[in-house]
Amino acid sequence: MTLPDQPPYRSGFACLVGRPNAGKTTLTNALVGEKVGIVSNRPQTTRHAIRGVVHRPAGQLVLVDTPGLHKPRSLLGQRLNDVVRDTLADVDVIVFCVPADQPVGSGDAFIARQLKAVSTPIVVVVTKTDAASKKAITEQLVAASQLVDAREVVPVSAVSGDQVGLLEDLLIGLLPEGPPLYPEEQTTDEDVERQLAELVREAALEKVRQEVPHSLAVSIEEIVRKPDPRDPDAVFTEVHALLHVERASQKPMLLGKGGQTIKAIGSEARVGMETLLGGRVHLDLHVTVLGEWQDDPKKLNRLGY
């Protein structure tokens, strides 16, 4: 008896694009099966192209989660858009995320215009279906399908997992034949220092309101690893991080009354760090003013943007 031929193994890159808060990072994390990017309801949460690797028997899908495409108001905004455009030029599939809980608007139309110049296959994903009614989802599927010439239009909830597996299969099927691009145990190519900085920024975005989130950047000054005095077989890590704001008036907002806010940021970030590093962490946070860094090329370079 002859066994049927196995389908060819496929591997390649899929870029997730969408306006800010379209659910790109939540979807990336759901597809990978673990957290590879920070999530917040604030615009400009994602500031780098973050790669998450999905390993399946049929193939390997490398997801590139990009910053939200938007009309830039600063040099940082221009650079974030450049990150997206550079990424679009070098992927096998584009995943255009349109949230189900918000009407299709000028931001979506702006992205659709950018995508008209590419010949890469596009899959439109209507995200956040758990947050919308069936009627709203149906209307959004029709509206989203009119934005671009898409191979497929798929409704998905990354929160509930609804249709995430179907989307995986669909995207892998659009990839070229080829061997795996990453080892089986690797789920992201983000370096540890950037992941630690992002965990601090994520915690700060949750704790601070008003105008601070746009003006906030985080850098890791030092990472010190040593044997854990409580467990000689474990590693204890000291992380020293700086939270940069643009104006002196923003510093007290991050510190909070009696230092309560910065302590809460540290406590929340430390939990994620201990999961990431697999051991106890001491996190030392300081707030510094880096004037108008969003429009200063040298400061942006120093912060890694």
Query: Which residue spans within 38-121 are E strands per DSSP?
Result: 50-56, 59-65, 93-99
Exposure of 79 in the CB half-sphere (CA atoms within 13 A): 18
pLDDT confidence of residue 225: 92
pLDDT score of 2: 39
What is the distance between the alpha carbons of residues 133 and 137, in angstroms, rounded to a whole number? 6
The residues of the chain scoring below 70 in pLDDT are 1-4, 38-49, 67-72, 209-213
The predicted pLDDT at position 1 comes to 38
Q: Residue 163: what are its φ and ψ, rounded to 5°? A: 70, 10
pLDDT of residue 64: 84
**Secondary structure of residue 68 in the 3-state scheme:** coil
pLDDT of residue 239: 95
Report CA torsion sign: 113, 116, 118, 121.
positive
> How many residues are there in the chain?
305
Q: What pLDDT is attached to residue 97?
A: 94
Query: Distance between CA atoms of 238 and 220, rounded to whole angstroms?
Result: 11
Q: Which residues of 37-61 are buried (b: 16+ CB within 10 A; e: fewer)?
A: bbbbebebbbbbbbbbbbbeebbbb
pTM across the whole model: 0.75
Tokens of 19: 């306006």
**Using an 8 Å Cβ cutoff, are 110 and 82 in contact?**
no
Cα gap 219→136, rounded to integer Å: 41
Domains and CATH numbers, the chain: 10-173 (3.40.50.300), 192-303 (3.30.300.20)
User: pLDDT tens for residues 264-290?
Assistant: 999 999 999 998 888 999 999 999 998
